[in-house]
Amino acid sequence: MKIGPHPSTDLSRFTKSENELDVLYGLPREVAFCKMCNMSNQQPMSSNEYAHGKSSTKTTLSFDEEGVCHACRFNILKEDGEIDWDERERELIELCNKYRKSDGSYDCIVGGSGGKDSAMQSHLLKYKYGMNPLTVTWSPHLYTDIGWKNFQQWLHVGGFDNYLFTPNGKIHRLLTRNATINLLHPFQPFILGQKTFVAKMAAQFNIPLIFYGEMPGEYGEKISHKTSSYAKGTEAAESEGFSLDYLHGKDIRDVLLGGKAIGEYLDEGVAMADLKSYLPMDPDVLHRKGIDFKYLGYYKKWVPQEAYYYAVENTGFEANPLRTEGTYSKYNSLDDKVDGFFYFTRWIKFGVGRAMMDSAQEIRNHHIDKEEAMALMRRYEGEYPARYEKEFLDYISMSRDEFLALCDRFRSPHLWMVKDGEWCLRRTPWDDMGSAV
Ligand SMILES: [Zn+2]
């Protein structure tokens, strides 16, 4: 589907001379692509979602003086011999020995959907390291058939106890609509809920050890490969680039959900009890209960494609029979009908689409090379997720016309221009390659 500017869009913002073009979200004005994986320097890093409003600025993926991104450097460290993976496995066994329980109670907790990563993580812990994990799931907005099937397979073929939590659907729809209108971020309510859900369940069931999967350094967060623990939310943890997003004494009425202050929701008659699932827990509770947070990716070398093969073999995981729109892959992020719009809206805001993300990761893990990635991006990057469009638009009570007009308001002029009546990026890695030849 070709997308041109909406009739309501002010095109004068996009036709100024290059150094006068507006730059949104605090993105770098100069667009650059990683010399190794093609990833754009416009790629945002994670930030505290409770402070995410219309005028928030982003921290973006950092590049070194050789033009190589932090995610590539992190991946090189995994295999350049500096990390002794046998030693790391001994550390994992020691950790498991410390927490393993023999009275039948749960000794660790793994959150996930039954996708390849949570499937491998939970299966290794239970069947290789003899732990008794509880698995917990924060429900997608709208399950896809393949997502529901893989979730069931995880439990029935893989063999796990699980709690599935589905937040109040009316409130979830309201937050999703607001997050789309205010932030063009339809996935934010899922992220807000999921981020603290596992910790809340650990506290609820007195489970002392939380396992997260891959380390955030894999996709470029500035966290050292020597850090085994997930940050718990102190100021120091913020500087590590990833945390549980505590409120730090902020007035609850000022906290933002979907870019709108909680005070406004309360004034409109939404009950505080209905917003509770989206708010962080008290860090003192975690401290008092002595809950430990670890990345399994610190102990085991994380290769996404190997997680896929592992999950196929051990938990009955199936790739999607249909190619995922916007990319070429069939096994990443499959369970939510909103997924496609999460990636599509990032493409609008930052010029980073799903094919770029998938291919950059596969280059870093040596499955494809840079030229293959260029061809895949040229073909699929930015594809409109038409398959679940109707369900998504019904969910947020919006027409296609309204949605596309909204998208235009979130396009940063330094990234986008109109050519032959169609939106296109001013710079792409494949155009750069063309001009270099
Ligand atoms: Zn890179």
Q: What share of the chain is helix, strand, coil (3-state, %, to 5)?
A: 45, 10, 45
Average pLDDT over the chain reads 91
CA of 238 to the centre of ligand 1 (A): 23
CA of 34 to the centre of ligand 1 (A): 5
The pLDDT of residue 111: 95
| Range list of H helices, 240-398 | 262-267, 272-275, 283-289, 296-299, 304-315, 339-350, 354-364, 370-380, 389-395
Percent of the chain with pLDDT strictly greater than 70 = 95
CA of 74 to the centre of ligand 1 (A): 9
pLDDT in tens, 161-190: 999 999 999 999 999 999 999 999 999 999
What domains sit in the chain, N to C, each tagged with a CATH number? 85-299 (3.40.50)
Neighbours of 281 (CB within 10 A): 18
Name the maximum alpha-carbon separation found in the chain: 70
Look at residues 336, 320, 420, 431 and name the one whose alpha carbon lies nearest to residue 374. 431
Distance CA 191, CA 176 (A): 11
pLDDT in tens, 345-378: 999 999 999 999 999 999 999 999 999 999 999 9
Give the pairing of strands 416-419 and 161-165.
Answer: unpaired
Which residues are within 8 A (CB) of 334 and not within 5 positions of it... i.e. 6 or more apart?
115, 144, 146, 147, 150, 320, 324
pLDDT in tens, 110-121: 999 999 999 999
Q: Six-digit token pair at 384?
A: 């409109």
Distance CA 190, CA 22 (A): 30
CA of 62 to the centre of ligand 1 (A): 10
CA of 219 to the centre of ligand 1 (A): 9
The pLDDT of residue 113: 92
Distance CA 347, CA 423 (A): 12
Distance CA 421, CA 5 (A): 7
- Among the ranges given (78-92, 152-166, 254-268, 421-435), the one the predictor scored with the smallest mean pLDDT: 421-435
What is the pTM (predicted TM-score) of this model?
Answer: 0.93
Amino acid at position 401, single letter: D
The answer to whether residue 106 scores a pLDDT higher than 90 is yes
Q: Which residue has the higher pLDDT, 240 or 284?
A: 284
CA of 70 to the centre of ligand 1 (A): 7
Can you say whether residue 269 is alpha, beta or left, with left for phi > 0 and alpha for psi between -120 and 50 degrees? left
CA of 36 to the centre of ligand 1 (A): 5
User: What average pLDDT does range 7-20 have in this prediction?
Assistant: 95
Q: Which residue has the higher pLDDT, 239 or 285?
A: 285
User: What average pLDDT does range 60-78 have in this prediction?
Assistant: 94
CA of 179 to the centre of ligand 1 (A): 30
Neighbours of 31 (CB within 10 A): 18
CA of 426 to the centre of ligand 1 (A): 20
CA of 359 to the centre of ligand 1 (A): 11
The pLDDT of residue 52: 86
Distance CA 57, CA 47 (A): 9
CA of 382 to the centre of ligand 1 (A): 20
CA of 312 to the centre of ligand 1 (A): 28
CA of 77 to the centre of ligand 1 (A): 13
DSSP designation for 282: P
The pLDDT of residue 242: 45
CA of 64 to the centre of ligand 1 (A): 10
CA of 361 to the centre of ligand 1 (A): 9
The answer to whether residue 221 scores a pLDDT higher than 50 is yes
User: What average pLDDT does range 22-50 have in this prediction?
Assistant: 94
CA of 306 to the centre of ligand 1 (A): 20
CA of 398 to the centre of ligand 1 (A): 37
Q: Which residue has the higher pLDDT, 1 or 435?
A: 1
The pLDDT of residue 231: 59
Print burial letters for 90-124: b (CB count within 10 Å at least 16), e (below 16).
Answer: eebeebbeeeeeeeeebbbbbbbbbbbbbbbbbbb
The pLDDT of residue 232: 53
CA of 101 to the centre of ligand 1 (A): 41
User: What average pLDDT does range 14-20 have in this prediction?
Assistant: 94
CA of 73 to the centre of ligand 1 (A): 7
CA of 72 to the centre of ligand 1 (A): 4
CA of 405 to the centre of ligand 1 (A): 33
CA of 358 to the centre of ligand 1 (A): 12
The pLDDT of residue 422: 96
CA of 362 to the centre of ligand 1 (A): 11
Distance CA 237, CA 230 (A): 9
Contact 325, 337 (CB under 8 A): no
Q: Six-digit token pair at 329?
A: 């892959």
The pLDDT of residue 228: 80
The pLDDT of residue 121: 97
H-run or E-run covering 194: helix 188-204
CA of 292 to the centre of ligand 1 (A): 31
Q: How many helical (H) and strand (E) elements, i.e. helices and strands, does the chain have?
A: 18, 9
The pLDDT of residue 243: 58
- Among the ranges given (13-17, 291-295, 378-382, 401-405), the one the predictor scored with the smallest mean pLDDT: 291-295
pLDDT in tens, 225-276: 887 876 554 444 433 434 566 676 778 999 999 999 999 999 999 999 999 9
The pLDDT of residue 216: 83
pLDDT in tens, 316-327: 999 888 899 999
The answer to whether residue 31 scores a pLDDT higher than 90 is yes
pLDDT band per the 50, 70, 90 thresholds, residue 285: confident
Look at residues 47, 24, 35 and name the one whose alpha carbon lies nearest to residue 71. 35
CA of 429 to the centre of ligand 1 (A): 12
The pLDDT of residue 218: 85
Distance CA 47, CA 416 (A): 24
CA of 39 to the centre of ligand 1 (A): 6
Distance of CA 250 to the CA centre of its chain: 25
Look at residues 303, 293, 265, 115 and name the one whose alpha carbon lies nearest to residue 195. 293
User: What average pLDDT does range 31-48 have in this prediction?
Assistant: 94
End-to-end CA distance of the chain: 30
Distance CA 214, CA 212 (A): 7
Which residues are within 8 A (CB) of 368 and not within 5 positions of it... i.e. 6 or more apart?
359, 362, 376
CA of 32 to the centre of ligand 1 (A): 11
Contact 210, 202 (CB under 8 A): yes
The pLDDT of residue 220: 84
CA of 217 to the centre of ligand 1 (A): 12
